[in-house]
Amino acid sequence: MKLSVANDSGMGATRFGDIIYERIVAMIADGTFPVNERLPAEAKLAEMFGASRPVVRDALERLRMDGLIVSRKGSGSYVRQRPDSSVLKMVPVGSLADVQRFFEFRAGLEAEAAELAARNWQAADKERITLALQKIEQCLGEGRLGAEEDQELHDAIAIATGNQFHITVRELFRPHFAIGHSVTRSLSLKRTPEQIRSVQDEHAVIVQAIFARQETEAHDAMKRHILNARARMFQGV
């Protein structure tokens, strides 16, 4: 159980904290730390993983942000929900925390893109966005993953901003976007038809606001969608 590391300070602490974070996620997913049960104290976790308490504390804070654990005053941290174990198989080892951080980055970036798209879209953009939304709908009807189609919709919205930097960012970080779309779409296939439909409904709300040139509504709908996608990574199936 104990992890060895040469140094858990500075930049090394951040990376080691990510490893501990991922290990605790795995232990929650496999039932080692059951739902509604209290996690070991910080000092015990630090001993288990061979880390300093501040590093463990950082990992626990991220788990709280992700909704996996909850703190109870005077009692400690408790497991709130158990994610599907397949999450850990869909991302490179040690990168789960970075995937979650990228969702945080996307929430701001893509919300701004949706707002700009609502302000600036042209006829060709409307056609491109509509087609992308229809392709996702077709994937749902056929039970296909639809990760590429999902990404295509978000690409179309970036193009509709009329701002080349939004397009460039999506190209620069295309592998990061692809992982996020692939993980969330893969997990959605394990969920109920109602839950799957709710994701597409989120897309429809964003698109409707964009086409109505409702900038604030488009911004807020996109931000909710990205943060919901982030949260869905850790929802049990």
Domains along the chain? 11-83 (1.10.10.10), 88-235 (1.20.120.530)
Q: Could you give the angle at the alpha carbon of 136 between the alpha carbons of 115 and 97, nearest 5°?
A: 65
Prediction pTM value: 0.82
For the chain, the average pLDDT equals 89
Q: What is the pLDDT of residues 182-197, one digit of tens each?
A: 888 888 777 778 888 8
Q: Are 96 and 25 in contact (CB under 8 A)?
A: yes
CA distance 12 to 6: 9
Q: What is the pLDDT of residues 47-106, one digit of tens each?
A: 999 999 999 999 999 999 888 999 998 889 999 999 888 888 888 766 888 899 999 999
Q: How confident is the model at residue 9 (pLDDT cuts 50, 70, 90)?
A: very low
C-alpha dihedral sign at 107, 101, 62, 188: positive
